[in-house]
């Protein structure tokens, strides 16, 4: 493999890692193995620390393909708690309000989910990397500042109810780049006349790459240690 000319790697990002953590660990393992100080490494699509699953990592000249790769359709499996909200729409922050769920049935849940299929308008979470006047929204939100983000037009290609209970649903979502599943959970809660927040998220596909194509962090580290690596020719 030639990591300077460019390779595309697929890692199953574990819970708790930031996207930068994944990039940093791959870069560190590669530079140590190759005996170089610098190597260009980047990822094609951020995953929150509380999410797991498919992350595409590009090295060397393959980083030029990042924009193309992250434009691919993405698939997620998301678990959503009903009857409570959090400021971040996930488990990063504490529950700030609770709501009744007695009126929700499986039939109602399926009917509401159907309304999200197709082109939708979505306001990104305040706790997100969106920029407002050059500042990250999450840094403002964590300081208690008001964050106003404009809605974005997105496409939900498919949405399916996998599991149902009055307090929790698990869904499969196939969507376009830029979709915040946390915000989708918020909006599903509102459409169900209750509150909702994301409790688990797994990205199962990016473009044609699935979790089955990905290496665990341990497998990635072992691959880097053992794979044949081409190094650039140097003139003596």
Residues annotated as catalytic (active site), given as ranges? 48
Helix (H) or strand (E) holding 114: helix 106-114
Residues written for the chain? 236
List Cα–Cα distances, 186 to 21, 98, 123, 146, 218, in angstroms.
27, 13, 10, 18, 35
Copy the structure tokens of residue 116.
């999200």
**230 C-beta neighbours (distance < 10 Å), count:** 10
- Within 13 A of 164's CA, how many CA atoms are on the CB side? 13
Report, in this order, helix, strand and coil percent for the chain, each rounded to 5: 30, 30, 40
The candidate with the shortest Cα–Cα distance to 207, out of 79, 17, 64, 55, is 55
Residues 14, 18: Cα–Cα separation, whole Å: 9
* Rg of the chain (C-alpha set): 20
């Amino acid at each position: 493999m030639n990591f300077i000319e460019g390779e595309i790697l697929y890692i199953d990002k574990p819970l708790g890692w930031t996207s930068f953590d994944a990039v940093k660990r791959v870069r560190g393992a590669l530079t140590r193995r190759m005996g170089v100080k610098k190597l260009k490494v980047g990822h094609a699509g951020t995953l929150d620390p509380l999410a797991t699953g498919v992350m595409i990592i590009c090295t060397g000249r393959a980083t030029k393909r990042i924009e193309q790769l992250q434009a691919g359709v993405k698939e997620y499996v998301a678990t959503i708690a009903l009857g409570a909200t959090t400021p971040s729409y996930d488990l990063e922050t504490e529950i700030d309000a609770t709501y009744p769920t007695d009126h929700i049935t499986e039939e109602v849940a399926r009917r509401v989910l159907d309304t999200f299929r197709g082109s939708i308008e979505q306001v990104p979470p305040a706790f997100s990397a969106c920029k407002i006047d050059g500042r990250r929204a999450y840094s403002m939100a964590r300081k208690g500042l008001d964050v106003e983000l404009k809605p974005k037009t997105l496409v939900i290609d498919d949405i399916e109810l996998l599991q149902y209970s009055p307090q929790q649903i698990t869904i499969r979502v196939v969507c376009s780049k830029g979709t915040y599943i946390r915000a989708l959970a918020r909006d599903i809660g509102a459409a169900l006349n209750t509150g909702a927040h994301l409790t688990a998220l797994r990205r199962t596909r990016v473009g044609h790459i699935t979790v089955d194509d990905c290496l665990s962090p341990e497998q990635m580290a072992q691959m880097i240690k053992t794979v044949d690596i081409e190094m650039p020719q140097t003139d003596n």
